[in-house]
């Protein structure tokens, strides 16, 4: 039963810039729609007043789509008051919102390959370098024409591990699960959820054959454990285009796709971002 797959060593670390906000004022923007949920690892959505040009959170620009700011909350965010900086031609306004606590389930897993739980020193050097490369992908903010609706699940497989699960590998606590695992037969096509640019492909220690898609304005998706990659860095891909095939490369106990979705540098629950974007 426990076909749970281990994957996606991507530090679930929200980088705090310690931005000093000016005097607090409350935005008069309407309440967010219910599909969004301001919890650690969730998405906060705020319809923007007409005068606002851009928004930022913890020092990073956030996605603005159809006049709404979509804010990725770090999975290790402290519950309580958080601030969104709204920039207009007339000045900057601070909008405060509450991040509610969320308890994610815990799972205990046994990995037969000890080197996937306790890598050698040489492997750790490689892993650190790969982690930096991946974080750099997530932190990219690029302007492009956004086409995010619908935002489709990349394979139709059964969910074998949800986002956010706190993981204990061979008795050792590890980072929470930073994506959604979809179990599917090896070779199952993986399709782009929406138009994007391929910004990185490679074979990584934990994640195996991996590719990154950049959908614009800090919305970045990652696909891991692939048996093969069907695109190249720099390619423009269309919604539904096959970008690779499901496999079990890297740290995994069976064929599945690990799918991570990131907003403003923070990994968020893929189920929630699909719900938010597909709600219209
Ligand atoms: Zn995974």
Tokens of 259: 């799918």
Residue 122 neighbours by CB under 8 Å, 6+ apart: none
Cβ density class 183-205: b for 16+ within 10 Å, e for less: bbeeebebbbbbbbbbbbbeebb
pLDDT digits (tens, 9 = 90+) for 67-109: 999 999 999 999 999 999 999 989 999 999 999 999 999 988 8
CB atoms within 10 A of CB 241: 16
> Do 199 and 77 lie in a common domain?
no
Q: Is residue 38 part of a domain?
A: no
> Do 70 and 201 lie in a common domain?
no
Question: Is the per-residue pLDDT at 246 higher than 90?
Answer: yes
> Do 83 and 122 lie in a common domain?
no
Task: Give me ligand 1 centre to Cα 231, in Å.
Answer: 21
Cα(84)–Cα(29) distance, rounded to whole angstroms? 12
Domain that holds residue 263: 3-31+102-278
Task: Give me ligand 1 centre to Cα 258, in Å.
Answer: 4
Task: Give me ligand 1 centre to Cα 163, in Å.
Answer: 8
Give residue 169's pLDDT.
Answer: 84
Task: Give me ligand 1 centre to Cα 7, in Å.
Answer: 4
Q: Is residue 37 part of a domain?
A: no
Q: Is residue 186 part of a domain?
A: yes
Mark which of 64, 79, 99 sits at the end of a domain. Answer: 99
Q: Are 185 and 175 in contact (CB under 8 A)?
A: no
Task: Give me ligand 1 centre to Cα 260, in Å.
Answer: 8
pTM for this one?
0.86
Give residue 83's pLDDT.
Answer: 97
Task: Give me ligand 1 centre to Cα 29, in Å.
Answer: 36
Chain centre to alpha carbon of residue 139: 11
CATH number for 210: 2.70.70.10
Task: Give me ligand 1 centre to Cα 154, in Å.
Answer: 14
Give residue 118's pLDDT.
Answer: 86
Task: Give me ligand 1 centre to Cα 72, in Å.
Answer: 19
Is 124 in a helix, a strand, or coil?
Answer: helix
Task: Provide the domain count of the chain.
Answer: 2
Give residue 35's pLDDT.
Answer: 60
Q: Is residue 190 part of a domain?
A: yes
pLDDT digits (tens, 9 = 90+) for 103-136: 999 988 888 888 888 889 989 999 999 999 999 9
CATH number for 65: 2.60.40.1590
Q: Is residue 167 part of a domain?
A: yes
Write phi, then psi, for 226 (nearest 5 degrees). Answer: -65, 150
């Amino acid at each position: 039963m426990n076909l749970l797959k281990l994957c996606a060593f991507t530090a679930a670390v929200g980088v705090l810039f310690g931005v000093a906000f000016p005097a607090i004022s409350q935005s008069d923007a309407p309440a967010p729609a219910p599909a969004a949920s301001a919890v650690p690892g969730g998405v906060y959505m705020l319809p923007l007043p007409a005068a606002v040009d851009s928004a930022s959170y913890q020092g990073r620009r956030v996605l603005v789509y159809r006049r709404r700011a979509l804010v990725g909350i770090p999975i290790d965010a402290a519950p309580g008051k958080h601030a969104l900086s709204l920039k207009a031609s007339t000045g900057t306004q601070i909008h405060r919102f509450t991040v509610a606590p969320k308890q994610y389930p815990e799972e205990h897993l046994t990995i037969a390959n000890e080197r996937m739980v306790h890598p050698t020193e040489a492997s750790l050097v490689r892993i650190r370098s790969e982690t930096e490369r991946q974080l750099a992908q997530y932190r990219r903010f690029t302007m492009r024409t956004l086409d995010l609706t619908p935002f489709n699940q990349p394979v139709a497989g059964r969910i074998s591990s949800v986002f956010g699960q706190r993981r204990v590998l061979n008795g050792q606590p590890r980072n929470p699960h930073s994506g959604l695992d979809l179990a599917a037969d090896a070779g199952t096509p993986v399709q782009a959820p929406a138009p994007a640019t391929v910004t990185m492909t490679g074979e990584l220690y934990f994640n195996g054959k991996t590719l990154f898609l950049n959908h614009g304005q800090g919305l970045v998706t990652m696909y891991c454990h692939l048996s093969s990659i069907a695109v190249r860095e720099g390619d423009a891909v269309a919604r539904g285009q096959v970008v690779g095939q499901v496999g079990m490369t890297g740290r995994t106990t069976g064929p599945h796709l690990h799918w991570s979705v990131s907003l403003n540098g923070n990994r968020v629950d893929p189920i929630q971002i699909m719900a938010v974007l597909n709600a219209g």
